Structure 1
Amino acid sequence: MGVSGVGKTTLMDVLSGKKTSGNIEGEIRIGGVKESVMYSAWLRLPTEIDKHKRLEFVVEVLQMIELDKIKDTLVGIPHVSGISPEQCKRLTIAVELVFNPSIIFMEPTSGLDARAAAIVMRVLKNIVDTKRTTVCTIY
């Protein structure tokens, strides 16, 4: 809401992906990598855990999954814009991991090329190093 000319329509065009030319600057807080993990934390962690502890979990998971450097990147639509398939796979793992499950079942490399699979396996080792039980099938 605002007076005429402050950029309401431009903001909506940028957020919906309609405005893609020109120089667009700012922080991505909707549809970003960090937001996706935070959303999972807010929905799935017990209500007794305060917002500072939830944010701490999110930051820890993003670092463990090696997504901290792209935390403000738009997730996007496959093959159009946003993160790569390998980063998307790691984000899927992060969304589950933030809930701090006692056991994790996954197919971490399905649909990935050899290079992307190697990155995901390196990240998987980070998870195993935290003493979490992890059950995987690998192709």
Structure 2
Amino acid sequence: MDMHSEAATIREALTFNAFLRQDSEVPDSVKYDSVNECLTLLDMWDIADQIIRGSSTEQMKRLTIGVELAAQPSVLFLDEPTSGLDARSAKLIMDGVRKVANSGRTIVCTIHQPSMEVFFSV
């Protein structure tokens, strides 16, 4: 289940997690850069300042992945990130996961019965 503070914006949620979970020795500018990278990799610039309350299921999934990315993990584990999504939304999520993988991060991801389009897009 994707749980986030509904009163915050997507950018605020990412920023909060970057500052909370990255080492205190990491400069603030680097933390802000990681937030911007999350927004870019997951195509969330157009919704960055949107309040989380009222976001679609697909937007919440992207936010959940972004919150984890903001921590700058060496390995990103995703357990059924497309669960509960229609084929179009699942493809958008997996396109974002592909961009994250292409940025040099290691991703371990489980997906049950993806459509052929989603399966071959990764």
TM bucket (normalised to shorter chain) is 0.7 to 0.9
Alignment of 1:22-61 (within 5 A): 31-61=8-38
What is the alpha-carbon distance in structure 1 between the residues aligned to residue 70 and residue 111 of structure 2?
23
Q: Match of 2:111, as an amino acid? A: I
In structure 2, what is the equivalent of residue 89 of structure 1?
61
Q: Calculate percent identity across the aligned residue pairs.
A: 40
Structure whose alpha-carbon radius of gyration is higher: 1
The TM-score, its normalising length taken from structure 2, stands at 0.82
In structure 2, what is the equivalent of residue 102 of structure 1?
74
Per residue, is there more helix in 1 or in 2? Answer: 2
**CA shift for structure 1 position 50:** 2.0
The TM-score, its normalising length taken from structure 1, stands at 0.72
5+ residue gaps, structure 1, are: 1-29, 77-81
In structure 1, what is the equivalent of residue 4 of structure 2?
none
Q: Which stretches of structure 1, 4 residues or more, deviate above 4 A after TM superposition? A: none
5+ residue gaps, structure 2, are: 1-6, 113-122
| 2:77 aligned counterpart, secondary structure | strand
What is the alpha-carbon distance in structure 2 between the residues aligned to residue 89 and residue 55 of structure 1?
21
